[in-house]
Chain A
Amino acid sequence: MFAAYGGFPVRYPHWRFGAEFNELLKSYSYGLSKIYEMVINTDPCYAYLLSANAIGDQKLVIAHVYGHCDFFKNNAWFAPTNRKMLDQMANHAARVNRYVDRYGYEKVERFIDACLSLDNLIDPHAPHIQRKAKPDFAEKNKNESHVQELDQHPEHGRFRAKSYMDPFINPPDVLEREKMREHEERELHMTQRSFPEEPQRDVLLFLLDHAPLEQWQHDILAIIRDEAYYFAPQGQTKIMNEGWASYWHSTIMTKHGLTDAEVIDYADHHSGTMAMSPQRLNPYKVGIELMRDIEQRWNKGQFGKEWEDCDDMDEKSNWDRQLGLGREKIFEVRRIHNDLTFIDTFLNADFCRRHKMFSFAYNDRSGDYEIASREFDDIKQQFLASLTNHGRPFIYVVDGNHHNRGELYLRHDYQGVELKQDYANATLSNLQKIWNRPVNLETVIDDQLSTISYDGHTHDVHSIES
C-alpha cells in the first residue's frame, strides 16, 4: 500500500489509491514486476526496503537510494519543493477526512475526482520564475503621466520625419486608422472587463482565485494543486534521476559493495532493470548511459569548438586529451538540468547510433506503429516532443468573462498535435463542475481553428472564422 500512496504513510482517502494498490498487487503476484526501492523527497529522506529481498539486493537498493537522495537535495528543479511534505500530506489527509465527516464521502470524492482530472493544468516553471512583475508604483505613475501627455497630442502615432517626407512616413489615413483601432481597443477593454490580463497557464490557480467555490471545495482544490506542484519535478527529471541513482548504485556496487557470491545475482538484477525493449524507452537505461557518455566525453576532452570543428573521423575516434573532467561535469549536470534540457544538450548522433535508437510513426496501411526514421534529428525531435510538458497539451486561461457572460475561455496552444476529443470533452465537463458556468476551449480540429463548448448539458463544436 505504501507504493500506491507514493511512499507516504498517510494520504487523503480516495478510491484511486485502492485501484493502484490492486494493480501493483496483481502485477507483483503474477511475477510481472517487483518493487525494489521507494524513496521520498523530504528532509530527512525516508526510504523503504522489502524484507523479502536478499542481502545483495538490499545493498543495491541502499546504494541506489543514496543516489536519489543526493539528486533530491541538489537538483535545482527540486529546490522549491516542500521538504516537510510528510507532515503536509498528513495535514491534507486530516483536512479531507474532516470534510468527508461533514459533507459525506460521495460528495467529497466526486469533487476530488473532478480536481484530480485537472491536476496537470499547472505551470511547472512557476516556482522558478516571476511571471508577473511586482507593481512598481513609480513606473506606473510615470506611465500614467506619459499616457496623459500622449492624450494631449492627438497624433501620438506619428514618427519623426522631415516635412517633405512626412506624408510618406506618416500617411494621414494610416494615422487615422491607428487612432480608431486604439479607441476601439480601449472601448472593448472597458466594456468587456476581461481577465486575466495575459493568458495564464496555471489553470488551477485561476480557479482558486475566481471560481465560485465553497470553502471546503476551495481547500480541496488547493490541496490537489499543492501536491501536483510537489510531484511535478519528479516527472520533469525521471530520466536524470533514475540515471543518476543507477550510475551510483552501479559504481558503488561494482567497486565496493559486492561479495563474490553476490556478483551473478547483482548482474542479473541490474541488467533486468536496465533492459530496454523496442517498444519503450527505459529511463534507467537512457539516463545511466547518457551520464556515462558525458563522463567519458569530458574525461577525454571530446567537447568544445576544437572537437566540434574536427572532421577527421579517425582523429575523433582516438581523441583523448586526458582532461579528467568527467566526474565534475556529471555533478554539474545533475545540479542544473531537467530531462528536457538534459536530452537537448547531451543527446548526440553517435549515442543514438550506438543505442540503436529510432523514431516511430503510425502506419495507416499496416495499422501499426513502425520505425519511421533512424536520422538523429528525427529521433531527437520526437524524444524532445515526448518530454515537453510530458507530451501533454499546453492549455491557457484566456478569459474568465467570455462574451461578458462569466464564461470560461481556454486556449490550447496548438503545436501540430490535435487534442484527443474524448479527453477534451471530459476535461471540460470537470472544469464546468468547478466553474459553474459554461466553459469553452479553443483548439484545432481537422486543421480548422475551433471552439469546444460545454454548458453543463451538451458539448458543442464550432469552427472559428479566420
Chain B
Amino acid sequence: MTMTTHRVLPPEICDIQAEMEEIAASYGLDFFETIFEMLD
C-alpha cells in the first residue's frame, strides 16, 4: 500500500525550516539533508 503527501511546503514553513537548519548547524548539529513534507 502506498501513501501520498503534499510535497510542497508553504513558503512560511520553508523559511522557518531554513532558519532552524542554520541555527541547528551553528550549534554543531550534523545531519543528512532533511526533507520535510506536509501531511493533512
**Cβ contacts under 8 Å, B37 to chain A:** 46-49
Given contacts A2-B3, A11-B1, A67-B29, contact A252 B38 (CB under 8 A): no
Interface of B is mostly: mixed
- A-B pair count, CB < 8 Å, reads 107
CB-based contact A55/B23 at 8 Å: no
Task: Check if A45 is an interface residue, CB within 8 A of chain B.
Answer: yes
Which residues from B are CB-within-8-Å of A252? 20, 23-24, 27
- Chain A residues with Cβ below 8 Å from B12 are 55
* Residue numbers in A under 8 Å from B28 (CB-CB): 327, 331
CB of A410 within 8 Å of the partner chain:
no
Q: Which residues of A contact B19 (CB under 8 A)?
A: 257
Interface membership of chain A positions 126-167, coded 1 if the CB is closer than 8 angstroms to chain B and 0 otherwise? 000000000000000000000000000000000000000000
Cβ contacts B2-40/A at 8 Å (1 or 0 each):
111110010011001101110110011111111111111
A367 at the interface (CB under 8 A from B): no
Least CB separation from B31: chain A residue: A69
A57-65, A264-272, A351-359, A449-457 - the one binding chain B: A57-65
B39:A66 contact, CB within 8 angstroms: no
Q: Which residue of B lies closest to A8 (CB)?
A: B3
Residues in B with CB closer than 8 Å to A9 are 2-5
Determine which of B1, B16, B36 lies in contact with A59 in the assembled complex, contact meaning CB atoms within 8 Å.
B16
- Which residues of A in the span 340-366 have a Cβ within 8 Å of any Cβ on B? none
On chain A, the residues within 8 Å of B6 by CB distance are 51
Point out residues on B near A: beta carbons under 8 Å.
1-6, 9, 12-13, 16-17, 19-21, 23-24, 27-40
By Cβ-Cβ distance, the 10 closest A-B pairs, closest first, are A69-B31, A44-B33, A66-B24, A70-B29, A43-B32, A45-B34, A62-B20, A9-B3, A70-B31, A48-B39
